[in-house]
Amino acid sequence: MSMPEAVERRWTPTVEQLVYAVIAVLAVVSRLWALGDRALHHDETLHAAYSWYLFSGRGYMHDPLLHGPLLYHLGALIFFLFGDNDTTARLSAALFSIALTLSPILLRPVIGRPAALIASLYLLISPVALYVGRFFRHDIYSVVFELLVLVAIVRYAADPRPRWLYLGAAALALMLANQETTYLYILIFAAPLAAIFCWRVYRPGLAIIGGLGLALALLIFVLPGTAVVDGGHHARRDATGAIVVDQPGPIFGWPPLETEDNGYALLVRNRSDSDGGRTVWENAVRYLADIGRFVNHPAIISALIALTGALALLIWLIWRRRDATGGTPWERALDRGEPVAIVAASLVTDRRWQVALAIAGTIYAVLFTAMFTNLLGLISGVAGSLLYWLAQHNVQRGSQPAHYYAVILATYEPLLLLGAAAGLPLAVQAVRRRWPESFAIGLIAWWSVAAFGIYTWAGEKMPWLTIHITLPFTLLFAWTLAKLVALAQQQVARWQEMWAAAAAPAEAEAVAPANVSGAGDLAPVPAGGWRWLDDWRPGALGLPKGSLISFGLLFTLIICLGFLLLSITVAAGPASPIQPWMAVLFTLTLFTLLVLGSGLRWGWTVTAAIAAICLAVAIGLYTARSSVRLAYQTGDVAREMMVYTQTSPDVMRVMRRLEEAAMRRGGGTRLPVMYDNETVWLWYLRDWPGAIYVPGGRLDGPPSAEVQAVLLLQENLDRYPENRTYLQGFVLQRYPLRWWFPEDQAYRLNGSSLLDRLLRNPFDYETSAQLWRYLMFRQPPAGLGSTDFVIAVRPELARQIGVGLGGSLQMPGP
């Protein structure tokens, strides 16, 4: 090869590759920057503590209460590699967040390169993705696997290579070993895949699947009765151990399911191999017997019979029953080259489904048994998890209203809501017209709608679960924006061809003799002359030359003017002659006029694309600002709805100062301290061999002279008055332990919340001003709630710890 040829063939990065490289760098920086500066959330401290137990050799037993084992094994691995601290506790989550940001690359062949690039860019700035991606909880790991399973499905459908099947099997198993949201994910995707298969192979099967789904829903959630329960949703039982019935089930009068009792859910969620000093086999039999109490309910028996019968019927109708021609629906589908049948048939090629099952089974067994140290994890992995979280649907942890996720999305991800509003009709059109990406985008659109619906329906609603909704919304938004631009580019190309065709005969007429026959049949010159041909030449992003710039400048002017009017109106107070709603209406009117004028000038397709780009940039800036504020400024301050109930910064500050005080006294973490039953101390005192646990937070006498500090919940100090007596001689300081967002005053429909007032009277000045102050500056409509803790220290340590809420560095008087 000659030197010029070698130089010519040398690899040079494309613009797309450079953009992905920039996104990757920004993802690394944004996910790792100041990762340990925020105090660990209550759940994070539990996850970090149990990861540390596993790392330090204390073992692990799967517990659905704290979700699956994958997070703890990853946490232990990170601690082994980099040590244990607040930063490394979140490191594995941050690494998965980086992977999530770049993972849309795998969808490039099916949703298009522009759409994949937009999705990665949005995941980079998404407030929900950034916050949850720096949070040591299970959700960030799950959504990475959710996307990988989607990739496996659509890529295997397009090109049935075994690697995509094995990727999907591994990702699904890891998802199951991480979090129980896997069951909802399987439900979301099983329905459309089964429907597509039946539609293309045996359409009467749709009725069977639909009837089965309806029957299962009725049998599990409607036909069983309800129990008499207490505030913790523990059912009352009679002398025989049967649940006391509040209302018998409709139609058949069935009793409640065992999962109506949260106590039963806690009983069967897991089991130790050596529980009660028995052998693993004895405990396995007892465990299965306890689970059998749930299965033995007539509704569950009926559901299992219905499921087995429907599957057997489908197998017989599709693969076994032959018609008059001697063929089965399956054979006919293969004969006509039905793609769905071909893809399904490939699963048996080279024993692919057995290999995939072996991959998934190995991952399941290794993780749920903690490397085969707790064999009963094989049972709790599915049965314990499913029963426990089925019970939590009734418990409704979080107690959030049905509109909770709509409020979260409107606050943090408004661009995704607009994208869904425009994208769903476009996705329906893609499926109807069978565009090349119709299968992938149809699944994504269904995923978006189903995820929003099923998480809204589910009993437990938490802010971190929002990411399971925003991920499909992000993919749908990215494809929608890219598709609108592509349709506009096609429109520009068609207009170019039309004007070029009109210009050609007209130019010929100009040079032809006047008496040429047929000259009167040539196209007339369009109004405005041939400048139209030049105006429609492609410019930025393939849109008409200058259209994006002119529209963008006017759009920017309108947005700036609207922002200025709103800011002045809110700052001026109720006496302002212009109300906030007037400023909003004025801005929307100007924007509408801009869209109408642009539509008349450039056409509606081009205008839709330009308006979508400008809105994406403008709202994207608001989104990025929300991300920075949430992740780096107020990530541990409950002024953010995404923060929910968060450990206050005072916890970390007090612990750091206590460590410094211990170091100055030469004893290090051997300095004797006492702590109560608050779970935060499990993590922050993990390396304190001198730490003494106080069961229930009740002191049994004055601390010994060696004890320098006592950490107690304020409620334990108040519950046991003798604690104050025993702590005489100590300086007591009170600090917020956890604080939470004022939900009742913000978005609950209770007659007086901000959302309630906004719905009843959107033109009220104070309501509009409060909404503006929260959206722009995160000023909640009421103060934060909190639970507090007390640190009691010897007088010589008081000044090093600092002053708490209304405290004093002096000992209380006699």
Q: State the average pLDDT over residues 526-530.
A: 48
Q: What pLDDT band is residue 517 in, cutting at 50, 70 and 90? A: very low
Whether the Cβ atoms of residue 368 and residue 177 lie closer than 8 Å to each other: yes
Q: Are 290 and 258 in contact (CB under 8 A)?
A: no
pLDDT confidence of 529, banded at 50, 70, 90? very low
What's the rounded Cα separation, in Å, for the pair 57 and 70?
A: 17
Distances (CA, A) of 356 to 171, 214, 312, 360, 363: 11, 30, 23, 6, 11
Q: What is the mean pLDDT of residues 311-326?
A: 92
Residue 521 confidence (pLDDT): 38
Instruction: Assess whether pLDDT exceeds 60 at residue 7.
Output: no
Most confident option among 98-102, 517-521, 708-712: 98-102
Mean pLDDT of 116-137: 97
Q: What is the pLDDT of residue 522?
A: 35
Q: What is the DSSP string of 598-649?
A: HHHHH-HHHHHHHHHHHHHHHHHHHHHHHHHIIIIISTTSTTSTTT-EEE-H
What's the whole-number mean pLDDT along residues 719-726?
A: 93
More confident residue, 385 or 528: 385
C-alpha angle with apex 541: 538 to 547, nearest 5 degrees? 60
582-626 residue pLDDT tens: 999 999 999 999 999 999 988 899 999 999 999 999 999 999 999
Q: Tell me which of 126 and 233 has the higher pLDDT.
A: 126
> pLDDT grade, residue 515 (50/70/90)?
very low
Q: Is the pLDDT of residue 364 over 60?
A: yes
Angle at 101 between CA 95 and CA 105, to 5 degrees: 120
Q: What local confidence, expressed as pLDDT, does residue 514 receive?
A: 47
pLDDT at 523 > cutoff 70: no
When pLDDT is cut at 50, 70 and 90, the band that residue 3 belongs to is: low
The percent of residues above 90 in pLDDT, for the chain, comes to 74
Q: Is 402 in a helix, a strand, or coil?
A: coil
Contact indicator for 753, 747 with CB cutoff of 8 Å: yes
pLDDT band at 809 (very low <50, low <70, confident <90, very high): low
pTM, two decimal places: 0.92
Tell me which of 54-63, 130-139, 373-382, 515-524 is least confident: 515-524
CB 205 within 8 A of CB 318: yes
